[in-house]
Structure 1
């Protein structure tokens, strides 16, 4: 790699990291805080919460990485243009490939990294995160819920216990069940115990208050009453598996007897082609960024900042790929478009780069933007100067 190419590669890579790390941290923090209930509801330690946060990180990287490339490349080349570096490169007789090669090399490296994360790291981390949450909720009644504290087990089901004893014995059980739309049920029992499989709570010496939707109330005392926890343990004790959790090997050769696959084979097909096509986006985004900022240009000609143009195009392309992927779940004939859409954008960008064409905004949009910017500038100038006051 030539010295000039190494210089461009280093600047673009540094700007890429400067963009990727803060944005990744912000999105990661938002995703992690959305799962803070793992600590508040199940009493897990901060170490478990940190482990869950680590499992979430690989699911965010493939989404943020292509846009970090757009910002890194666009900002680097735009700064070089403002400093007249691109003009000097052209004046020295250097080929445009001197600018293109380091950017494409960076995009190819990040595309390979994205492919590894998407197909090998992300599925395993998704499964680990789901299993961790499932295990945390699995034995919620018998070992996690604090004494003399109301806790929500699931939507519409609340429980409080006075004391917990050995052999899964509980005393002072107070349980509220609002899950049935026809009845509001309140249970109280002096003591009870949870079965070894965690699917039955046997309450003894208590009563149940039943209130119908029409206001009728009935009270039934019981010596022993078995409360079914199977639906709760099934929903929290076993991690659900979706198409996004499956390995690449399974998606390439799915098990024809798998219940999840039989229920929605289209989602597995769409997930496979999404994984095999998403790695193309960093390369296509880099090519589009080169089209927008890859040549020397006068700042007087630009009505919109190159960053705005590049991000607008890439956001539109990303949305289109999401849309086509979702459509392919129910329509197999749309599957080629999952690859065709990014490849078409990439070929168009390559054609424009090969013929030294620059992306120009439509004259109508350019004139409108120029008038809007001019009016905004005049308002700022007039507002800064303020009204001229006279003397009385």
Structure 2
């Protein structure tokens, strides 16, 4: 039996890795298109895109991990049913409870992976991602160094440059400033330079024209200039620190002093309770997804026509339990003392698993005998 456990566990882990890789790739491609368009459109390099993609992977993996766990359990159980391996094991005296042991170990491994992600990797990656986003938002220079595109580095400002020389000179520059409510200003210049001046940044335009429109009386004023300095420092965010968030904190920091922590973060104790116990609930749900896939298919037993009905039932049970999780956050956010209800899907799932395994063992035989007695 130890060899059988190792064999089944190896099959589960191999299929789990395959499904996780495929699902992560599918979800990542869907997000990467938007991320690539936003970052490259803002003048960032491919290395920045790869960095942002890597920082977003931990949260993405937490989304696909339960699905991959369920898919692996269902696939391996279905294949072993079709090849009569489980039937042979049951004929040698192995009960469904005994056959469930490698699946339970697999579920615990999946839950452990989810715990590492939820408690350590996701908070660290989320904080680093927010810091990098803030850093890029402050770097207005990179957002202006894009050829042939009308850019909006901030609300009310439009910038365009036809080309950027190898020496960094911006050629044929257009700058429209609509931030003032009573005037519109347009600057055009043959060349421009970005100059760092201490903590500020200036755009030096050469050989250009300034046009100012007063919206109060629709009066247009124009002025030619040889050189003109436009301070772009106000376009840059002055916040040097990223505001601390619940999603950035490791689990050990959320275990105590909820009132003090809520005050310092400007949130509620309900939000802290929901964030903390959701991390534990996600790990417990991974164990449930593995076991419910196995137990549901085991009830169907061997059939020449397959166990598609049981697969559909297992999938519907998973959808129902997962949908329940999203509806339980509201009461906890309103009252932190309601945090135990976050574990309701996992508790119900464990009860279903127990019932299904009981039906697969002697309980199923008792039910059949009872039904025959009354028919």
Coarse TM-score class (shorter-chain normalised): 0.7 to 0.9
- Displacement of 1:64 after TM fit? 0.9
- Among 316, 327, 332, the alignment partner of 1:328 is 332
- Describe the SS at the equivalent of 2:266: helix
Q: Against the structure 1 CA distance between its residues 82 and 169, is the aligned structure 2 distance closer, same or farther, given a 3 Å change threshold?
A: closer
Whether the aligned pair in 1 keeps the contact of 2:42 and 2:142 (CA below 8 Å) is: no
Q: By how many angstroms is 1:284 displaced?
A: 1.0
Cα deviation digits, residues 167-225 of structure 1 (max 9, x gap): x9989763335678x6783431667966643488799996454475x9x7343568989
Report the counterpart of residue 102 of structure 2 in structure 1.
102
1:242 corresponds to: 245
1:283 aligns with 2:287: yes
Q: Residue 296 and residue 256 in structure 1: after superposition, are their counterparts in 2 closer, same or farther (change >3 A)? A: closer
Alignment TM-score, normalising by the size of structure 2: 0.77
Note the alpha carbon deviations across 1:77-122, whole angstroms, 9 max, x for none. 1122122222222222222233200000011011111101111011
| TM-score (normalised: structure 1) | 0.74
Query: Which residue of 2 is the match for residue 310 of structure 1?
Result: 314
* CA distance in structure 1 between the partners assigned to 2:246 and 2:324 by the alignment: 21
Describe the shift of the 1:326–1:257 C-alpha distance in structure 2 as closer, same or farther (beyond 3 A): closer
Q: In the TM superposition, what is the alpha-carbon distance from 1:27 to its structure 2 partner?
A: 0.9
Describe the SS at the equivalent of 2:334.
coil
**Cα distance change on mapping 1:85 and 1:176 into 2, 3 Å:** same
1:86–1:296 contact (8 Å) kept in structure 2: no
CA distance in 2, matches of 1:164, 1:258: 49
Count of residue correspondences: 352
Alignment of structure 1 residues 1-392 onto 2, 5 Å? 2-37=2-37, 39-141=39-141, 145-146=145-146, 149-154=149-154, 157-160=157-160, 174-177=174-177, 185-188=184-187, 196-198=198-200, 207=210, 209-210=212-213, 217-219=218-220, 230=234, 232-234=236-238, 239=242, 241-253=244-256, 256=260, 261-263=265-267, 265-295=269-299, 297-299=301-303, 304-356=308-360
SS at match of 1:185: strand
Residue pair 1:156, 1:178 contacting (<8 A) in 2 also: yes
How many Å separate the matches in 1 of 2:185 and 2:213? 7
Indicate conservation of the 8 Å contact 2:299/2:359, yes or no.
Answer: no
Q: 1:228 to 1:323 in 2, by over 3 A?
A: farther
How far has the Cα of 1:234 moved from its partner?
4.5
Give the root-mean-square deviation of aligned CA atoms: 3.9
For residue 42 of structure 1, report the CA deviation from its aligned partner. 3.6
| Residue in structure 1 matched with residue 373 of structure 2 by the alignment | none
CA distance in 1, matches of 2:204, 2:182: 21
More divergent stretch after superposition (76-85 vs 149-158): 149-158
